[in-house]
Each structure stands twice: as structure tokens, then as C-alpha cells.
Structure 1
Amino acid sequence: MSDKELLIPASQTDSSAINAQTRRGRLQMLLLLLACAAPVIASYFAYYVIKPEGGKTNFGTLVHPVQSANPAWFGVPLQGKWTLLIARPAAECQIKDEKCIEALFLMRQVKVAVGRESSRVQLLWVNMDGKPVDLEVAKAYDEKVAGFKVVSLPTDSKQRTEFLEWLNKEGAGEQIQLIDPSPAKMMYIPVTNSPKEFASIKKDLEKLLRLNHKGENL
């Protein structure tokens, strides 16, 4: 032991050792807390800085954040169902109008294609002009045959304005809109007659039905 060490009181030596141990303990605790918090910090960084992509789809475009839907706009229950919605004027939706018929046909075929899960999906056509649906169209796309519920625009002016703003957000008014069971719009889908794109839409819906049961009351 050196002369300098002999000059340091024992109490001071013990205190220095204790302080050093305390500092090491605090550093270890801090490192442990950082290690535990790293995933949380990373998720916050990804959400607020990088921004999420909202997952991947095969064809449809995910809506982020989702856009709440008001069942009062339609007079049809939405909660607990996956709803494919289209908005078209009845006057423009004739058998000869391929664009409109393609949209109805696509929705009907997607519902059929999900097989046993089809009872979890409903089809909604918002008749934008309130005129009678063409008889030929009605026969092929009524509720009993194809599962379509045809509703008119809200009569209340405030609700009508709210619905139209909701419908046309992100320029999606002409597309098929998918409403989740909460209910909220969470995806919009372009109208297509491509078999390959139809298969991709089917995969998107099947994936959602497989992974998401929360909120359904079937």
C-alpha cells in the first residue's frame, strides 16, 4: 500500500467505492431500459417520421387513416359487415352502359368468389339520382339474386353533403369503396374487367376476411 493510500481515511475509501458501484449500476440500468424501449422508440420513429405504408395490397388502395362512415347516410346497417359500395345514377346504369354494369358485375363476382365467407360481405349501390333502376338491371342485380341493396342519397341536406365529401375523398367517388365492420372506409378499388386484376381483388378481400373478425357481430 502506498503512502498516499495510507493518508486516505477508510471511510472515504469505502464511500468512493460505493459511489463507483452506484454509477455502474445506474449505467447498467439505463442501458437495460434503452434496450427494452428500443422497439417502442423504433415504432414511434417509423410512425411519425417515416410514416407507415399501411400494409400491402394486391390491387386496392388502402385508406390511411380510415374514414368513418355514418350508417344514417344509407339507412342500412353497416356495423358488423364488410360492405362493398358503389355510387352510380340509375339513369346512367343501363344494360348497354358497360362501365356501370362492369362495376356491379365485379362486386357481385367478388362476393361469390369468397365462397363460405360471402355472408360476411354485403353489396350496396347508392342510387345517385333517385330514378327507378332499369328493370333488366334490377333482375340481375337485386338483393335476392345478387345481394345488392339499393339506397338513395340522404334526404337531409347536411347528411347528403357529408356523404358526398366522404365519397369523393382522394378522388375515389367512381371507384368501389370497401367499408370495414367498424364502420369506416378502409380501401377503394378501381373498376376492372381484367381476370388477373379480379383475382387480385379477391385476394385482398380474402386476406381481410381471414385476418379480421374484430367488430363483426354475425
Structure 2
Amino acid sequence: MSDKEIVEPLIPASGSQKIDSATKRGRIQMILLLLVCAAPVIASYFTFYVIKPAGGKANIGELVSPVQPFPSNVIEENLVGKWTLLVARPASECKVGDDACVTLLHVMRQLRTAMGKERTRVQLVWLVTDDSVIDPEIAKSYDKELAGFTFIRMPRDLAKKQRLMTWLNADNEQSAIHLLDPRGDRMMRFKTGEGHLDFKKMVKDLEKLLKWNPTGKVGD
């Protein structure tokens, strides 16, 4: 280097440049955190829209988009941690001899059983929407130990009850079998009207979710 060459001194970053750098890092960290939290949902939708392991055939379950979180603190039971199949019916209409209601409980029980070794990742919930006594024979046949069912009553608190009813009635599909992911978000529903229940297709839908989405506790 000649004596005539001018060596410019290094200029440290200004305060504003440091702040901009910190802001960018914070935004990146926030985006990464959101991606981690949303991973289960992303995986579920990726399974149905992209992978299509069943040869691209349409599934029978109706995907809910955006997902609909189960209202918090309205029931004592914890619906987070496993895949949850939930049906809401009054006990007064769900008795031995009432094929419409008993058939739904039977389909849900058999659907969980059909998952084989993965069945412990699935829990069944009957949300009892009235104050009637549950038929003793049904209570015995569909208890938690035998069939994996949990019976939940509507909350007594009117505000909590209203929040839960609003969630159930979203999209006017209260009568459906609702599928919640392990975060407690409703991401799919199976219609239960005449001609809608197709056990084999429901099995395929749930099998795909459990295969391509590893979330959900293993074991009871």
C-alpha cells in the first residue's frame, strides 16, 4: 500500500442498524415459533391435499378450514393430547332400541377399534346435551374401559353452555361426528344424516391422519 492511499476507518453500525437487526431476528424467531405450533394442523391438511395415499380418492370427512378451537374452560375434562371423536346427543333420545343414536356410538367404537395398535391415540366423547339419565345398558356397553368412551355433561353455567353450543352449531353441523386434533381444534367432521355414514371411508380418513401425523399420546 502506497503512502498516498487513504485507508478509511471501519465505521461501527449505527444504533438504528442494530435495532433493525434485532427486529429481523425477533420476527424470524416468531415465525419459527408459529410454524412449530401449527405443525400438527399443517401436517393434517398436507395429508389430504398433497399426499393422498388412497390414490387421490375423495375422503368422506369434511375438512374444517380454518380449524375451530374447542372453547376453553367450559368443561372439566381435558380434550387435548389425543385425537378426539365427539358426538353430541341428548340421553333422552339415546336408549336401547333407538337405532339412530346407538348406531352412532357403535360406529365410533368400531372406528377406534379399527385403528389397531394406534387406537390408544384416539378418544371417544359423548357430549350429553340434556339432564336425562343415561340408559344403564348403554352406559355399560360404551364405558371408558370397554369402549374408550367418556361421557361429558353440558356445563351448568349458562355462559359456558352458550359458548359450547355456539361451537357445536358452527356451520349448522351440530349433529355431526366432530374430529378434534391433539391440540383440541376441530379440523374435520363426519355428517351423520341418512346416506352419509360410510364406515370404510371413515376408517381410511382416520388411518391417513394417524399415519401421516405422529401427534397424539400413545397409551391411555
102 and 193 in structure 1: CA distance in 2 versus 1, 3 angstrom threshold = farther
Which residue pairs with 1:136 in the alignment? 137
Which residue pairs with 2:111 in the alignment? 110
- Offset at 1:75? 1.7
Say if 2:180 and 2:188, in contact at 8 Å, map to a contact too: yes
Deviations 1:149-200 (Å, cap 9, x if unpaired)? 0010012211111110111111110110001011100111023798x92110
2:82, 2:155 → 1: CA distance? 21
2:99 matched to 1:98? yes
Give percent identity, aligned residues only.
Answer: 40
2:193, 2:140 → 1: CA distance? 22
Which residue pairs with 2:177 in the alignment? 176
- Offset at 1:74? 2.9
Say if 1:90 and 1:127, in contact at 8 Å, map to a contact too: yes
Unaligned runs of 5+ in 2: 1-47, 53-57
Which residue pairs with 1:156 in the alignment? 157
Say if 2:71 and 2:167, in contact at 8 Å, map to a contact too: no
Q: Does the residue aligned with 2:150 lie in a helix, a strand or coil?
A: strand
> Number of paired residues?
165
Say if 1:71 and 1:78, in contact at 8 Å, map to a contact too: no
Which residue pairs with 2:33 in the alignment? none
2:209, 2:132 → 1: CA distance? 34
Which residue pairs with 2:67 in the alignment? 66
Say if 1:93 and 1:134, in contact at 8 Å, map to a contact too: yes
Q: Does the residue aligned with 1:174 lie in a helix, a strand or coil?
A: coil
Say if 1:81 and 1:121, in contact at 8 Å, map to a contact too: yes
Unaligned runs of 5+ in 1: 1-53
2:114, 2:75 → 1: CA distance? 26
Q: What CA RMSD, in Å, does the superposition of the two structures yield over aligned residues?
A: 2.3
Say if 1:103 and 1:192, in contact at 8 Å, map to a contact too: no
- Offset at 1:78? 1.4
1:91, 1:164 → 2: CA distance? 18
2:120, 2:194 → 1: CA distance? 24
Say if 2:126 and 2:152, in contact at 8 Å, map to a contact too: yes
The amino acid of 2:107's aligned partner reads L
2:110, 2:75 → 1: CA distance? 23
Which residue pairs with 2:127 in the alignment? 126
- Offset at 1:217? 4.5
| Superposition pairs of residues 1-218 of structure 1, within 5 angstroms | 55=49, 57-191=58-192, 197-214=198-215, 216-218=216-218
- Offset at 1:130? 2.2
1:138, 1:116 → 2: CA distance? 25
Deviations 1:44-97 (Å, cap 9, x if unpaired)? xxxxxxxxxx73751110000000013533321111110000001001101111
**Structure showing the higher helix proportion among its residues:** 1
Q: When the two structures are superposed, what TM-score results if normalisation uses the length of structure 1?
A: 0.70
- Offset at 1:145? 1.2
Q: Does the residue aligned with 1:72 lie in a helix, a strand or coil?
A: coil
Q: When the two structures are superposed, what TM-score results if normalisation uses the length of structure 2?
A: 0.69
